[in-house]
Amino acid sequence: MLIKNIGEFGLINRIKKLIKTDASVVKGPGDDCAVIKFSKDKYMLFTSDMLVEGVDFTGKDRPYLVGRKAIAVSVSDIAACAGLPRYCLVSVGMPGNTSVDFIDKLIKGMFHFAEKYGINIVGGDISRARQLTIDVSMLGIVEKKNLALRSGAKIGDIIFVTGKLGGSILGKHLRFTPRLKEARFLVKNFRVNSMIDISDGLTQDLGHILEESSAGAIIYEDLIPISKQARNLHDALYMGEDFELLFTVSTYEAKKLYRKKLTGFKPIGEIVDKKYGLRLVDKRGKEKLIKPKGFRHF
């Protein structure tokens, strides 16, 4: 059997079955961050992300922006759990013929972005590799009362996103702003039942919430905010690399959010019973069952 035959998530599920954790781990594999006991009123968040040339960026992309993205994707994970990023380690694999100027610009992109969010880069590793590979491990903190996970969606919840979707691979994926400010605003003012960042596509990441919450969902074509860079609805549903937040709140909390007239939060659907799966209602009002899909490594 080959990895490409079981796919990325088949491999992840296979690994998850082998992992055993002790009582200090509140949440292990299966969310945007691992959640670890830390203090009386706070949890520690722990996440890691790997960027590989040819997969997450190209050799023609500006090294400064590649470095920026390397930090930003982990900040987005911390935001998805409603925490604050604090420390990170950075490991870089590169060919020996990489120019020093290139690496200088790469590191500057990392440090400037980390500084903006008050993140301490405290170490890491370097290695020879056939292609540029960057791995970031990041620690954050979240108040216990504010922790948001994928597993809390409830039937009747309204599904929201924080911005327009699709077409990010044309440039936004290197320049996006993690929705840290929005996540903190939400958990401080509303009861958020579930949350995830959209890295692999709207339907695929919504599918993660549905799987972890044992629920179904109905989303509406008319409500999905499509970016100017997206070619069509398909891009908004499946393309990924948007790094917007996808979250669910009760109808009561949704009404509170709506009354504030905040344009940055867009309702796109509702959580329903698991038996309905994931359904899309098109502009003609026709409902169809769709599969959660998006970017997958295998």
Distance in angstroms (rounded) separating the CA atoms of residues 68 and 114: 8
The two tokens of residue 140 are: 């954050």
pLDDT-derived band at 294, boundaries 50, 70, 90: low
In a domain, 171, yes or no: yes
In a domain, 295, yes or no: no
Q: Which of 145, 178, 200 is the last residue of a domain?
A: 145
Query: Model confidence over 236-258: pLDDT tens digits?
Result: 999 989 999 999 999 999 999 98
CA dihedral over 156, 236, 243, 136, signed as positive or negative: positive
Query: Model confidence over 17-54: pLDDT tens digits?
Result: 778 889 999 999 989 999 999 999 999 999 999 999 99
Q: Which of 145, 179, 203 is the last residue of a domain?
A: 145
> Do residue 175 and residue 280 come from a single domain?
yes
> Do residue 157 and residue 202 come from a single domain?
yes
In a domain, 296, yes or no: no
Query: Model confidence over 140-169: pLDDT tens digits?
Result: 999 999 999 999 999 999 999 999 999 998
Q: How many domains does the chain have?
A: 2
In a domain, 178, yes or no: yes
Distance in angstroms (rounded) separating the CA atoms of residues 95 and 72: 24
Distance in angstroms (rounded) separating the CA atoms of residues 165 and 201: 9
pLDDT-derived band at 293, boundaries 50, 70, 90: confident
pLDDT of residue 246: 98
> Do residue 88 and residue 167 come from a single domain?
no
Percent of the chain exceeding pLDDT 70 equals 97
pLDDT-derived band at 296, boundaries 50, 70, 90: low
> Do residue 183 and residue 282 come from a single domain?
yes
Asked if the model's pLDDT at residue 263 lies above 60, the reply is: yes
Query: Model confidence over 61-83: pLDDT tens digits?
Result: 999 999 999 999 999 999 999 99
> Do residue 235 and residue 113 come from a single domain?
no
* Domain containing residue 131: 3-145
> Do residue 88 and residue 26 come from a single domain?
yes
In a domain, 298, yes or no: no
> Do residue 168 and residue 141 come from a single domain?
no
Q: Which of 117, 145, 173 is the last residue of a domain?
A: 145
Instruction: Report the CATH number at residue 49.
Output: 3.30.1330.10
pLDDT of residue 171: 86
In a domain, 22, yes or no: yes
Question: Higher confidence at residue 144 or residue 295?
Answer: 144
Asked if the model's pLDDT at residue 286 lies above 80, the reply is: yes
> Do residue 139 and residue 21 come from a single domain?
yes
> Do residue 217 and residue 271 come from a single domain?
yes
In a domain, 54, yes or no: yes
In a domain, 294, yes or no: no
pLDDT of residue 207: 97
Asked if the model's pLDDT at residue 16 lies above 70, the reply is: yes
pLDDT of residue 295: 57
Q: Judge contact between 158 and 192, C-beta under 8 A.
A: no
- Tell me the chain's radius of gyration from C-alpha atoms: 19
pLDDT-derived band at 261, boundaries 50, 70, 90: confident
> Do residue 158 and residue 219 come from a single domain?
yes
With vertex at residue 194, the alpha carbon angle to CA 115 and CA 214, rounded to the nearest 5 degrees, is 140
> Do residue 103 and residue 49 come from a single domain?
yes
Instruction: Report the CATH number at residue 284.
Output: 3.90.650.10
Asked if the model's pLDDT at residue 57 lies above 80, the reply is: yes
CA distances from 288 to 181, 207, 232 (A): 35, 16, 18
> Do residue 156 and residue 108 come from a single domain?
no
